[in-house]
Amino acid sequence: MQEPFDANATGGVHEPSTTTLQMDSRSSATTGSVEVSTHDISLHAVRKDSNRIGDGVSGVHNCRASFMDMFWATVQRLFRQTVRRKSEVVLEVVVPLLFMTVTVILWSIWGTNHIDESPRIDYGALPRTMNPTIYQHFTCSAKLGGVPGLRVCRNKKEVECIKDEITAPFRGVCVHKRVGATTLVAFFANGFVGRIAPIPPLDTLIMHQWLARHANTRVLIPRGLIPNNRLSAIQSSGRLYFVGNASVVRGIVQHLGRVSHYFTNVYGGTFETLPEAQEEVRRQTLNWGIVHVRCFEPGSLDVQIYLNGTALPTLRETVANAYPGGFQHNRAEMYALSGYLTLQKEISEHHMGLFNPGMGLNITPYIMPQGFVEFTETPLLQTARGILPVLFGLAFLFTVTSRVHVNVMEKESKIRETILIMGMRKSVLNVVWFLKPLLIDLVVCSLITVLLKLTYMPRSGSVSLFVVIFVFALTTIPLSGVIACFFSKTRLALLVSPIIYFLMTLPYAVERPTNGLLCMISALLSPTAFISIVHGALAMEVSGGFHLTQLRIGGDPVCAEMLLIMLVADLVLYTLLMLYLDTVLQNDWGTKHPLFFITNPIRALFWERRKVGTSACPFTDGRADNGVFEDIGGTKEEATVVMAGLRKEYQRGGDTFVAVNNFCWSMGRGEISVLLGLNGAGKSTVINMITGMVKPDAGDCYVNGRSVRRELPAARQQMGFCPQHNILWPQLTCREHLEFFGKIKGLKGKALDLAVGMCCTKQDYLKKVTTSRDISLVDKNGCFR
């Protein structure tokens, strides 16, 4: 154990007093003393000397480095390493950009469409669906009287007949082979897209429902493989149920039976209450809907029509937040193809005919789009808007994995803990560890923002895009630290951390939360919150652009501004969690704090640090009974290091193995004390307990009165430690290593230059400018010791 960095140590050290010790190497089986042989590792406190070097630097440097001294020294070291190890930084920059490039490639494939204005309706090209009996030209009945309203097939070789009664209630509905059922249904469905068309009669609608069911794709609808569109609307068919007053419903049913040949084949019955009808729907497989007649009077008509969820456009959005302009597919035409408008028309006509028979109205209702101004649409944002946000989130998967790897590797190689022993403040390491990714993310987010602005998000604000992406990127820094807290092995961390990050995107990727509370809870996972914001931003880009001043998105359970606030909250939460877990979780090396270590400042106000002298040892001394010991001598005031009953036990095969047995020892000021012992005697364990690498099971160690168990950071500031394996970075030179360690000990300016020059002179390194990986192990141990 040596005192703070000695800038004036010239080799003229006073004659040390050497103490010969015997250590107890007891195990669960045998007990005996270990004979002193050769030295293994030394703790030495150099006696203060008044000798001077050069132009008068003092013998012993007693200054402590400030936070900023350590900070700039660490920043300088990290900068040099980064410059000389470019590949890791390049990957952290390039990989997120590659994901963004994939989205740009998809955008370039679909392109951007500019639609001119259409101020009026074009009546020039009316669709063939204007003829309500168009289906009769391509269908026929296999036998006479088999299918009402259809003629008998003349040549059965030219037609394909439907023989499945589940598909249609009639055997022998035939379609011409040159047309086919699929083509006929597509022709009918497309007749309502962007043009004027009459609301289809009940028979026309029911026949096309049967033909669409023949395509046998309806099973894909409830599984979400077919979104709400024209196909799902025409395929959502089956039985139609009625609820209401029996006499009123009877009149409606009779009216529908008069205007349709096929209504009786889809009529499912009448129920008094809505729950009864809903229960019947649950028991059946094929259901069209429920017609609930609430009021049927001369001056009032109140009817509710319930259809399948896949029969109409999604009702989650009150406002179409992704509306680019003009006519859009799979919107209004679904109301015609699902039968909603047909049922509405027939019930309304029955009401007018029943209560106003003298009006003699003969109205044919139509469905048609209105005129619109010019607009630009991006098919990628409209078609793949649910997938793109996931790609945005996964773009940072490699970034998080890489940072977890670096963090765990420092713990596994004991670099971080050993630097702390050398006097480095933990707060400095945390700040610098946060600073480097922050600068990289600043570059990455800027490039992503430019890329998006130049491609498929030109209408969104640059600042708005950058803020959202950058805030999320900041959350990945402490997030990687939180993940790293649970690992001590680099290989395991590399395997598990990508899985953890991917799982954090699942709340959106699997099923987007529709409940506000669930959305807020899922936003505690920053990837999910980010993906949700991107989803809304893409929708706003379609309809005018994403801007921080207009973050509210209609139809979303939680507004984007709240999700952005949650991202900031995640940043704070992850940072606090990282600092807490890094302190309380046990790793292979280092001393963990108790679970509620945050109470330590309060306890420190009422706890008086214990003063321990050279011979103070309130524990049972674990020395061998038959050992030979010398009287060390000295006074209490001269004790620099006091080990009071240090004890460490390990478990091996279910048995307890005592590595260090109540070890008591004092080191006086100005002495060189040597700890000797055979392999396995416990020398390294003692050193690890003194430096805080291992927590003692009992006892304590005091360095200048500072408890290693209770005041470890303060005790470490008093230490100079040379581990068995030195702290070396392959990217740094010998001089750069020495400068770094000198700076964190408080050396500056001429004192630092003299100390570094002295070490290099002793080891003949003045002419060597190679990196540390080119220096032999012997030279390393000599130079850095």
Backbone φ and ψ for 487, nearest 5 degrees, come out as -130, 145
Q: Are 588 and 418 in contact (CB under 8 A)?
A: no
Could you tell me if residue 677 is inside a domain?
A: yes
Q: What angle do CA 559, 565, 570 make, to 5 degrees?
A: 125
Strand, helix or coil for residue 273: coil
Choose between 702 and 617: higher pLDDT: 702
**Least confident segment among 578-582, 587-591, 748-752:** 587-591
Could you tell me if residue 68 is inside a domain?
A: no
End of a domain among 181, 215, 249? 215
pLDDT of residue 447: 96
Q: Is the same domain home to 412 and 552?
A: yes
Q: Is the same domain home to 497 and 454?
A: yes
pLDDT at 508 over 60: yes
Q: Is the same domain home to 439 and 477?
A: yes
Choose between 326 and 411: higher pLDDT: 411
For residues 238-254, one letter each, b for 16 or more C-beta atoms within 10 angstroms of the residue's C-beta and e for the rest, the string is bbbbbbbeeebbebbbe
Could you tell me if residue 578 is inside a domain?
A: yes
Could you tell me if residue 723 is inside a domain?
A: no
User: From residue 676, how far is each of 19, 415, 498 by CA, in Å?
Assistant: 10, 26, 46
- Total-model pTM: 0.67
Q: What percent of the chain has a predicted confidence (pLDDT) above 90?
A: 25
CATH number of the domain encompassing residue 642: 3.40.50.300
The Cα 462–Cα 551 span in angstroms is 14
Q: Is the same domain home to 396 and 302?
A: no
The pLDDT confidence band at residue 35, using thresholds 50, 70 and 90, is: very low
- Residue pLDDT, tens place only, 143-155: 887 888 888 998 8
Q: Is the same domain home to 143 and 197?
A: yes
The Cα 419–Cα 74 span in angstroms is 11
Could you tell me if residue 612 is inside a domain?
A: no
The pLDDT confidence band at residue 57, using thresholds 50, 70 and 90, is: very low
pLDDT of residue 225: 45
Max mean pLDDT range (371-380, 551-560, 739-748) = 739-748
The pLDDT confidence band at residue 259, using thresholds 50, 70 and 90, is: very high
Q: Is the same domain home to 366 and 396?
A: no
**Least confident segment among 102-106, 507-511, 568-572:** 507-511
pLDDT of residue 557: 46
pLDDT of residue 556: 53
End of a domain among 567, 584, 601? 584
pLDDT at 132 over 90: no
Full DSSP string of 124-169:
SS--GGGSTTGGGGTEEESSTTSSTT-PBPS-GGGEEEE--TTT-S
pLDDT of residue 358: 73
User: Where does residue 298 rank: exposed (0-12), middle (13-18), buried (19+ CB within 10 A)?
Assistant: exposed
Q: Tell me the CB-side half-sphere exposure of residue 175, using CA atoms within 13 A.
A: 21
pLDDT of residue 667: 83
Number of domains in the chain: 5
pLDDT at 404 over 80: yes
pLDDT at 177 over 90: no
Question: What is the chain's length?
Answer: 785
User: From residue 211, how far is each of 133, 145, 162, 220, 286 by CA, in Å?
Assistant: 15, 19, 9, 17, 14
Mean pLDDT over each residue of the chain, to the nearest integer: 77
C-alpha 542 chain-centroid distance? 26
The pLDDT confidence band at residue 403, using thresholds 50, 70 and 90, is: very high
Max mean pLDDT range (245-259, 407-421, 621-635, 717-731) = 245-259
Q: Is the same domain home to 176 and 263?
A: no
Full DSSP string of 4-72:
S--TT--S-PPPPPP-----B---SS---BPPP-SEEEEEE-PPP----BTTTB-SS--PPPPHHHHHH
Instruction: Name residues whose C-beta falls within 8 Å of residue 575's C-beta, 6 or more positions apart in sequence.
Output: 478
- Compute the average pLDDT of residues 544-549: 80
The pLDDT confidence band at residue 96, using thresholds 50, 70 and 90, is: very high
- Beta-bridge partners for 243: 271, 292
Query: Whose CA is closest to 534, among 492, 505, 569?
Result: 505
- Residue pLDDT, tens place only, 412-448: 877 777 777 777 888 888 898 899 999 999 999 999 9
pLDDT of residue 276: 94
pLDDT at 470 over 90: yes
Backbone φ and ψ for 678, nearest 5 degrees, come out as -70, 170
> With left for phi above 0 and alpha for psi between -120 and 50, is residue 544 left, alpha or beta?
left
Full DSSP string of 708-766:
TTT-HHHHHTT-B---SS----TTSBHHHHHHHHHHHTT--HHHHHHHHHHHHHHTT-T
- Residue pLDDT, tens place only, 304-358: 999 988 888 876 655 566 677 777 778 888 999 999 999 999 999 999 888 888 7
Residue 295's CB is within 10 A of a number of other CB atoms, namely 12
**Least confident segment among 316-325, 548-557, 567-576:** 548-557
pLDDT of residue 609: 45
Q: What is the DSSP letter of 617?
A: -
pLDDT of residue 410: 83
Could you tell me if residue 116 is inside a domain?
A: no
Q: Tell me the CB-side half-sphere exposure of residue 676, using CA atoms within 13 A.
A: 15
pLDDT of residue 48: 36
Q: Is the same domain home to 699 and 761?
A: no
pLDDT of residue 27: 33
pLDDT of residue 360: 66
The pLDDT confidence band at residue 626, using thresholds 50, 70 and 90, is: low
Q: State the alpha helices, DSSP H only, in 375-425.
A: 379-383, 388-394, 397-412, 415-421
pLDDT of residue 482: 93
**Least confident segment among 121-125, 281-285, 496-500:** 121-125
pLDDT at 218 over 60: no
pLDDT of residue 186: 86
**Structural domain of residue 288, as residue ranges?**
230-317+327-372
Rounded (10°) CA dihedral 350, 353, 355, 357: -170
The pLDDT confidence band at residue 568, using thresholds 50, 70 and 90, is: very high
To which H or E segment does residue 689 belong? helix 683-691
pLDDT at 657 over 90: no
- Residue pLDDT, tens place only, 165-175: 666 777 788 99
Q: Is the same domain home to 77 and 167?
A: no
To which H or E segment does residue 3 belong? none
pLDDT of residue 341: 94
Residue 625's CB is within 10 A of a number of other CB atoms, namely 7
Q: What is the DSSP letter of 2?
A: B
Q: What angle do CA 298, 358, 131 make, to 5 degrees?
A: 100
Q: Is the same domain home to 452 and 568?
A: yes
User: Where does residue 331 rank: exposed (0-12), middle (13-18), buried (19+ CB within 10 A)?
Assistant: middle
Could you tell me if residue 727 is inside a domain?
A: no
Q: Is the same domain home to 434 and 578?
A: yes
Could you tell me if residue 488 is inside a domain?
A: yes
The Cα 602–Cα 423 span in angstroms is 24
The Cα 389–Cα 400 span in angstroms is 18
CATH number of the domain encompassing residue 258: 3.40.190
The pLDDT confidence band at residue 227, using thresholds 50, 70 and 90, is: low
**Least confident segment among 179-183, 312-316, 419-423, 607-611:** 607-611
pLDDT of residue 219: 41
pLDDT of residue 59: 41
pLDDT at 621 over 50: yes
Choose between 727 and 356: higher pLDDT: 356
End of a domain among 157, 181, 215? 215
Q: Is the same domain home to 450 and 580?
A: yes
pLDDT of residue 40: 33
User: From residue 400, how far is each of 92, 451, 498, 566 by CA, in Å?
Assistant: 9, 22, 8, 19
